Amino acid sequence: MANSMSVKAGDRVKVIAGKDKGKESRVLKVQPEKERAVVEKVNMIKKAQRPTQRNPQGGLLEIEGTIHVSNLMLVCPSCSQPTRVARRRTDDGTRVRVCKKCKNDIDK
């Protein structure tokens, strides 16, 4: 389900698997339909760039590749721990994410 993504753009996350394991960074965007995310400076890939007027040589551009969200763990803004996410429904019916470690709401 698309809205069951545990991370959102702007979240701090810790990479728990893959070549950037251990890095902490910020989610730039998510692709809920693929359950993938783009995380700042994580899973960098080299992309060939075509020559342009400004850069007649062309060259290799380093950009963020996507990473599967199962390789990421949310870093709780309250306790700064990488955590799994619980959910609860607030009084007005919105679902918010809750840190399983400190039990504080992640979404304010």
Residues that bind Zn ion (CB under 5 A): 76, 78-79, 99, 101-102
Q: How far is the CB of 101 from Zn ion (least distance, A)?
A: 5
User: Hey, what are 97's tokens?
Assistant: 């994410």
Q: How far is the CB of 47 from Zn ion (least distance, A)?
A: 36
Q: Which is nearer to Zn ion, 18 or 82 (CB)?
A: 82
Burial of 13 (0-12, 13-18, 19+ CB in 10 A): buried
Judge whether 23 and 42 are in contact, CB under 8 Å.
yes
Q: How far is the CB of 6 from Zn ion (least distance, A)?
A: 14
